[in-house]
Amino acid sequence: MMQQTLAKAVQAKGIGLHSGKMVHLKLVPAPAHHGIRFFRTDLGVEIEALSQNVDFSALQLATTLRKEKGCIQTTEHLMAALYAMGIDNLRVEVDSAEIPIMDGSAAPFIYLIEEAGIKKQTAVRRVLKVTKPFHFNHQEKTVSVYPCETFRISYEINFDHPLIQKQQKTVEINPTLFEAEVSRARTFGFLKDVQMLKKMGLIQGGSIDNAIVLDGDRMLNASLRQKDEFVSHKILDCVGDLALCGARFQGHVVANKAGHEVHALFLRALMASDAIAWENASEEEQEVAVHAEPVFA
């Protein structure tokens, strides 16, 4: 499999989930072996989209990457779209600390990728291949992974709300299935939590325009986009978080009640384990992945 980038630059703008301010985003083609890198145009800081740059002190609501004096928040929806559509190399220019939330799903980013087109490159892709079962537990939340010839995710959630309750879904992560079954699933939250977070100065841009908001036994939105939208969004988040391995992921991930923090901890533990093999990755790249220290702001 050969590496890919976009055929041309594309741009969009949208509200930042936490700041509530307008954010400008530009996706710029990048050469082979560049990887996905975020560039803060307001700070002049570049942050590689890799596990070693995850800010472990800021994983409650979304995934945050941090390097030097800069950070970039809410990376998971864009990263999921890039991974699922097969984009290996890209410069992501943004003029704020956040990726715009758009409609709360990955669909707007899929649209941008399709608008730009995809360009094949001459370098072979790096692959992180799971070679034996690996299990991770954290506070009654679990993620396991098993050898598989493709990237497959089985996810289970269980919420005490009549519209969610227990949901389970398995999907193979490829462009066709991701776009059809996962990409349009929106992030969701509970009204009581939204009110508390806004008082704390967070999610100032959050609304029913970019999230499913639940209250009591109902939701404030007019309707769901799909019956399994809640668990589908969890799969979307998982794809975006595991894309921070910096390679194509080959394994069957089975997650139960997990989230951004557990995804990040699982990936860090897996990459340091003997349950994987790297294909087409240099020794230096493997060493960085295994021995990187966690980031705490």
Active centre residues (catalytic): 260
For 113, phi and psi rounded to 5 degrees? -65, -45
pLDDT at residue 49 above 80?
A: yes
- Average pLDDT on 202-225 reads 93
CB within 8 Å of 196: residues ≥ 6 apart:
none
Residue type present at position 100? P
Compute the distance between CA of residue 211 and CA of residue 64 in angstroms, rounded to an integer: 19
- How confident is the model at residue 69, as a pLDDT? 85
- How confident is the model at residue 182, as a pLDDT? 99
pLDDT at residue 294 above 80?
A: no
The CA angle 218-220-221, to the nearest 5 degrees, is 115
- Average pLDDT on 195-221 reads 89
Enter the tokens of residue 173. Answer: 């992560």
pLDDT at residue 292 above 70?
A: no
Q: How high does pLDDT run on average in the chain?
A: 94
pLDDT at residue 187 above 50?
A: yes
- Of 203 and 39, the one with more pLDDT: 39
Compute the distance between CA of residue 63 and CA of residue 171 in angstroms, rounded to an integer: 22
- Of 289 and 135, the one with more pLDDT: 135
For 42, phi and psi rounded to 5 degrees? -80, -20
pLDDT at residue 290 above 60?
A: no
- Using 50, 70 and 90 to split pLDDT, how confident is the model at 288? low
- Average pLDDT on 144-160 reads 98
